[in-house]
Amino acid sequence: MWVDVITLFPQMVESIAAYGVTGRAIEKDLLTLKTWNPRDFTTDNYQSVDDRPYGGGPGMVMQVEPLRRCIRAVREQAVPHVKVIYLSPQGKRLDQTLLRQRAGGEGFVLVAGRYEGIDERFVELEIDEEWSIGDYVLSGGELAAMVVIDAIARLQPGALGHGESAQQDSFMDGLLDYPHYTRPDEIDGLAVPQVLLSGDHARINRWRHQQALGRTAIRRPDLLSNRGMTEHERALLEEFMRVHDKQGRFQICGHLMTEEDNHE
């Protein structure tokens, strides 16, 4: 799929092409990233893209015309009726469900604002959707655009290595992740849960599923109530709650309880 980004800082957005999963997805042509700078669509000597706000107040506002000429150029090379998404704190809150819906499409255009924002008439005339990545204010939409691109890139088939994708396909959908451990198997008296050393993949999957449920119930009960649980999951969670405290730690103190104990 392709993502075009309208931004005053194209190099900032393009930097994700150099790293990790996004870099690999672009290299493998699973994702095509293209940036467009409204400054290249100005007509004055100063290449100005912003002006003072009507009504007064601090900061500057991005003007309609450079953005409009820019989006026209983008539309000329895009599919008809391409979706244009403006990143702003006023937008719909981004989540994995929304990303998954869009990840299978042909592509879309992201508009990253700077300064106090964009002249509202550009939003009315050219923007189809507004997305927010959270209830806080960034200095511009670039980081938000990069968040969207990263999350979309890893959903492209083939973007993640074999090992990385397994977890996504599992029952963990809509839950927080389970805890991860690597060598050594003990640090400062903290042992890796015994079950993970058992080689018994059914038990390991059960433990991970239970941990994901437990963590979600403790840290993000809102996610769990929206998602719902199967009967089997309800039983797993009840068992988790019996042996863990409110922070998700084992309740029995002074004894390094292992997952073996937990299943006995």
Q: Kindly list the residues in this chain that would bind ligand ADE in the complex (CB under 6 A).
A: 87-89, 132-134, 136-138, 141, 144
Q: Which of 76, 135, 169, 188 is catalytic?
A: 169
Active site residue 38: no
Strand order, beta sheet including 84-93? 32-36, 2-6, 107-112, 84-93, 129-132
DSSP-assigned letters across all residues of 213-255 = HHHHHHH-HHHHHHH---HHHHHHHHHHHHHB-TTS-BS--SS
Give the span between the Cα atoms of 229 and 240, in whole angstroms.
Answer: 14
Closer to ligand ADE by Cβ: residue 105 or 134 = 134
Q: Which of 116, 130, 150, 239 is catalytic?
A: 116
Closer to ligand ADE by Cβ: residue 41 or 131 = 131
Residue 111: CB minimum distance to ligand ADE, A: 10
Active site residue 89: yes
Active site residue 231: no
Residue 48: CB minimum distance to ligand ADE, A: 21
Closer to ligand ADE by Cβ: residue 54 or 136 = 136
Residue 136: CB minimum distance to ligand ADE, A: 5
E strands of the chain, at which residues?
2-6, 32-36, 50-51, 61-62, 84-93, 107-112, 129-132, 186-187, 190-191
Closer to ligand ADE by Cβ: residue 37 or 211 = 37
On whether the CB atoms of residues 111 and 118 are closer than 8 A, the answer is yes
Closer to ligand ADE by Cβ: residue 89 or 107 = 89
Q: Which of 65, 69, 75, 89 is catalytic?
A: 89
Active site residue 154: yes
Residue 134: CB minimum distance to ligand ADE, A: 5
By three-state DSSP, how is residue 115 classified?
coil
Give the span between the Cα atoms of 65 and 122, in whole angstroms.
Answer: 8
Residue 201: CB minimum distance to ligand ADE, A: 40
On whether the CB atoms of residues 18 and 48 are closer than 8 A, the answer is no
Q: Which of 154, 208, 233, 259 is catalytic?
A: 154
DSSP annotation of 256 reads: -
Which amino acids are annotated catalytic?
89, 116, 154, 169
